[in-house]
Structure 1
Amino acid sequence: MGYSVNFFETHAVSAPSIGNRETQKFTTANLVVSDYYLPYVNYSVLQNPFRKFPYYSAVNVDGNHFHKLKREHIFEGSERWLKDARIPAESQWGNALYNAEKNDFDKGHLAKREDVQWGIDAEAAKNAARSTFYFTNAVPQVSKLNRGVWKSIENYILHHEVVKHNMKICLFSGPVFSADDPEFLKTVNGEKVLLPYLFWKVVYYVKDGELHRAGFLTSQQREMQKKRIIKPVSRSEEAVRATHFNAFKDAETYQVNVNFIEKLSGLSFEAAAEMFQSNDPERIILSRVNVRNVSNESVQMEAQANSMNLTL
């Protein structure tokens, strides 16, 4: 029911594993990592009980069985976000955070509603879509990030690749947790909240019988500062690993080698071929130009009446 490792049948793709530092936190707190791996419909999440946000979502996307549903048709009335009763309520942020003063951010779905919106019929797809409305599947994201280029990439992958070509993909998304993360201006239930500002996405697909992967990274730090929803950011020695991303233009999205995401996030991903080999992140550009193909498989592809240079 949740994420399937054998979704491709010919290639197994395991969900990312957390590093020793995070594993030790569970051990110290007498917690079991697997208790926080939560299956939903067509996806799973691994919840970080210490930050109260998910480490990542792991999604199977099946374009051949996709059903198009409008958001307002998912629920009767307004949408409802829930805490997951399978883990302690104090291990997940909820309405208290998103209704707090100065909360000028969205509930950013990690597993996109439409990505899981597939099944044997429309009712099954609707049930899957509803299952994405859990706080364990959300991280605060400013609107410029949640509705901008990041969303364009999500829509491109789903509609222009997966659904259009009846593809299957495995899609992982998550924040980078760092000691350098800024603090929300307000406390919530007497607790301070550290807001992640880096987000990553890794997509796996099968091409010519070979397993491939592609990685993307984006930031919202400066946008949060402009909106004045965070306290002034201070760096710590522990967070030096993330500082070299700070120079990139905020709210733009970059294609990166998945190894780069592993270094930032501390996660380990399934090995696979990558067309994008550069160690330098490449900015993904949206512009109103015609689609054109390049010999090295770096392609300018249409997305929402614009184009993106992605390497797949």
Structure 2
Amino acid sequence: MAYSSNFLKGHIVNVPEIDVIEEEKFKATNFSVADYYLEYANYSVLQNPFRKFPYYTAANIDGELFKKIKRGELFSGSDSWKKDDRIPKECQLGKELYSSLKSDFDKGHLTKREDVQWGHDIETAKDAAISTFYYTNAVPQVDRLNRGVWRRIEDYILHHEVVKQSLKISLITGPLLLDSDPEFVTKVENISIQLPTLFYKIIYYLRDGELYRTGFLTSQKGLLQKRRIVKPVVRGDVLESNDMFQGFKDAETYQVSVPFIESIGNLKFTEAKEIFKDNTPEELILDAIDVRSEESIGTTRSRSRSQSRSNLKL
């Protein structure tokens, strides 16, 4: 079963809506948005055929039915990534990107393998996990981000909240695909590719029968620039554009309101209550979340926020 909007009892969490500008791009090329909405096991994806990366992935996660499966149990050898035959090959990026010159980045899962690794039996969970190894579920992420802070956020959400407390959540994840994204230094099959710098996660969950949401945002802009993976950007052209999950270490640095994510992106998300609110100016938030160096990410602090932590639990 793919992503279900009524997964959380008594509430509807729809997949995000793209804005009018993005809709016009589809109309101008005679593409149908529906053709690029791809359903997998326990999650779905909307692929952006123009940027060749997904707008978002939407996953349902059931902590009670989670199955513990090691990555090595899924494939006989190394991970097996592939393109999705349901959409044109040229509308997705695979080996031609991740094996190209200066591709000093990982294939970063958007919907994490373990997130959908659930079901009533082990085989169902395995099939779901394997279905995350499509390039439509991947974006280029510098290892320091993919294996560092973003991994810690993912592990915190799944293991410290959802599985531990047998919760059900709906999780929306993606890159913010912006016009200001820098170009990869290497052309891919003679085409210039803009690499995403900002990544978000929005968690929907129930508390006392009511629907809540919370958002996380992180950036790899500084790492891409430092490692010279992207072309230099002229200064001035660069974008300067609470709840139970606040127990994550340094959550105050990476946690943002969902309206903030909407304000700098091209997506609209299902409304829900939010405990976390922050009126910090946009440029301060974006500056604070940027993973700028090889220093320990765990020591990052927002200049504009209190050093105190909020550890709200169910």
TM-score over 0.5 (shorter chain):
yes
For the superposition of Structure 1 and Structure 2, which TM-score range results when normalised by the shorter chain? 0.7 to 0.9
The alpha carbon displacement at 1:234 in A equals 3.5
State the one-letter code of the partner of 1:210.
Answer: E
Q: Which residue of 1 aligns with 2:240?
A: 243
Query: Residue 12 in 1 paired to residue 24 in 2?
Result: no
Give, in whole Å, the separation in 2 of the partners of 1:85 and 1:253: 39
Give, in whole Å, the separation in 1 of the partners of 2:234 and 2:263: 21
Aligned CA distance change for structure 1 residues 236 and 28 (closer, same or farther; 3 Å) = farther
Aligned CA distance change for structure 1 residues 158 and 151 (closer, same or farther; 3 Å) = same
Please give the per-residue CA displacement for 1:74-95, whole angstroms capped at 9, x wherever unaligned.
1111111010000000100110
For structure 1, list consecutive stretches of 5 or more residues without a partner in the other structure. Answer: 245-251, 288-295, 302-311
Secondary structure of 1:51 counterpart: coil
Query: Residue 55 in 1 paired to residue 55 in 2?
Result: yes
Secondary structure of 2:267 counterpart: coil
Aligned CA distance change for structure 1 residues 236 and 50 (closer, same or farther; 3 Å) = farther
TM-score, normalising length: structure 2: 0.86
Q: Which residue of 2 aligns with 1:65?
A: 65
- 1:121-200 pair list within 5 angstroms: 121-200=121-200
Contact persistence 1:179–1:236 (CA under 8 A):
no
Which range moved further: 130-139 or 227-236?
227-236
Aligned CA distance change for structure 1 residues 202 and 91 (closer, same or farther; 3 Å) = same
The alpha carbon displacement at 1:150 in A equals 1.3
The alpha carbon displacement at 1:199 in A equals 0.7
Please give the per-residue CA displacement for 1:250-269, whole angstroms capped at 9, x wherever unaligned.
xx951111000011112100
The alpha carbon displacement at 1:233 in A equals 1.7
- 1:218-237 pair list within 5 angstroms: 218-234=218-234
The alpha carbon displacement at 1:179 in A equals 1.6
The alpha carbon displacement at 1:236 in A equals 7.7
The alpha carbon displacement at 1:10 in A equals 1.0
Secondary structure of 2:268 counterpart: coil
Query: Residue 299 in 1 paired to residue 311 in 2?
Result: yes
Count of aligned residue pairs for this structure pair: 284
Please give the per-residue CA displacement for 1:254-306, whole angstroms capped at 9, x wherever unaligned.
1111000011112100100001012224968847xxxxxxxx992189xxxxx
Give, in whole Å, the separation in 2 of the partners of 1:137 and 1:270: 21
Give, in whole Å, the separation in 2 of the partners of 1:298 and 1:286: 17
Contact persistence 1:171–1:203 (CA under 8 A):
yes
Please give the per-residue CA displacement for 1:217-258, whole angstroms capped at 9, x wherever unaligned.
111011011111111024787x7xx414xxxxxxx9511110
For structure 2, list consecutive stretches of 5 or more residues without a partner in the other structure. Answer: 242-251, 290-296, 300-307
Stretches of 4+ moved more than 3 A in 1? 234-237, 281-287
Give, in whole Å, the separation in 1 of the partners of 2:216 and 2:160: 17
Q: Which residue of 2 aligns with 1:277?
A: 277
State the one-letter code of the partner of 2:194.
Answer: L
Instruction: Name the % identity.
Output: 57
Contact persistence 1:205–1:211 (CA under 8 A):
yes
Secondary structure of 1:188 counterpart: coil
State the one-letter code of the partner of 1:176.
Answer: L
State the one-letter code of the partner of 2:104.
Answer: D
Give, in whole Å, the separation in 2 of the partners of 1:44 and 1:234: 37
Contact persistence 1:199–1:217 (CA under 8 A):
yes
Secondary structure of 1:15 counterpart: coil
State the one-letter code of the partner of 2:99.
Answer: N
Contact persistence 1:180–1:236 (CA under 8 A):
no
Tell me how large the CA RMSD over aligned residues is: 2.1
State the one-letter code of the partner of 1:298.
Answer: S
Aligned CA distance change for structure 1 residues 91 and 236 (closer, same or farther; 3 Å) = farther
State the one-letter code of the partner of 2:107.
Answer: K
State the one-letter code of the partner of 1:255.
Answer: Q
Contact persistence 1:66–1:118 (CA under 8 A):
yes
